[in-house]
Amino acid sequence: MTDLTRHLRLLRPAPGVLAFYDGRVEGHRFADGPNWVDDGALSLGIASYAIVSGDQALVYDTHVSRPHAALIRRWLEAEGVARFTVVLSHRHLDHIAGTAEFAGCEVIANARTAAHMARDKAAIEAGTLQGGPAIAPLILPTRSFSGEMTLHVDQTEVRLIEANIHSDDATVLYLPESGLLLAGDTVEDTVTYVGDPAAFDIHLADLARLAALDARSILPNHGAEAIISAGGYAPDIIPATADYIRWLMTLKDSPENRNIPLHQAIGAQLSSGALTWFAPYEAVHAQNIARTLAQYHGGGAHG
């Protein structure tokens, strides 16, 4: 195990499902100086997943670096996996960085993700899209879909479902037999990261679509290691996420609400246990407020 992957943990949240978790390690940094791996991924904790059946694995996101992906592949090969399919949850760098370690395998994404990645390929490989580290080479999807798509990992049915939550190009995985939902970044614990406040109504509608799946358990990419390891989140993380989006929407008519601290804004959801407290999400909350105020008030607010 290299220095970069020394905190990568292998979890087994459900039969036939592996989680690869890194981050939330006090004092550990991936690299010196500002970088998207530490600031947007490891600081919050991040997991990617694999659905394993027979000698096949569906790898859901390829983690934050090629060394991470290489170790994940070795772990899966030790489980007897010889055939790999990669599915990308969305275009953000902490989900696509290791795909080169699965070169030659089918890489599936929805059409929006494929288009975003193709558009940004040169900048991502140069490290200029969101700063370093660069992802070079960036492996583009080899197959895309729109709406829904069904795959089989040996005998395990997996539904790929497109959504617009967190980003406009989300793909979640639903396993009908077990009722497990692998949610990517469509829900997070403590709170969702909002990329486009103009799409709040779409986010809410798509969260309602996910809730209608009636999943028994939910595995997000960003969440608490102990909860993921124990099998995932209860379904109430979905309405809790919707409640938080509705709270952000109050900033349109009540911009003074920006002064309400996060623990108060989501107090009911913390009390119920739908969400848990992790202090670094205060920075995410502050970014969400700034983006929402910019959408509603052109970058400023009164009151």
Q: Give tens-digit pLDDT for 93-132.
A: 999 999 999 989 999 999 999 999 999 999 999 999 999 9
273 token code pair: 């246990």
Q: How far apart are CA 219 and CA 190, in angstroms?
A: 13
Q: List the domain boundaries for the chain.
A: 3-297
Report whether 163 contacts 172 (CB < 8 A): yes
CB atoms within 10 A of CB 98: 27
Nearest residue to 174 (alpha-carbon basis) of 228, 212, 222, 224: 212
Res 3: pLDDT: 85
Place of tokens 């275009």: 91
Res 299: pLDDT: 56
Report whether 257 contacts 244 (CB < 8 A): no
Domain 3-297 classification at class level: alpha beta
In the chain, which residue ranges form alpha helices assigned H by DSSP?
36-37, 66-78, 93-96, 111-126, 200-211, 225-229, 237-249, 262-265, 267-272, 281-297
Helix (H, G, I), strand (E, B) or coil at 48: strand
Nearest residue to 66 (alpha-carbon basis) of 22, 5, 119: 5
Q: Which residues of the chain carry a pLDDT beneath 50?
A: 1, 300-303
Q: Give tens-digit pLDDT for 63-96.
A: 999 999 999 999 999 999 999 999 999 999 999 9
Rounded to the nearest 10 degrees, the angle between the axes of helix 237-249 and helix 200-211 is: 160
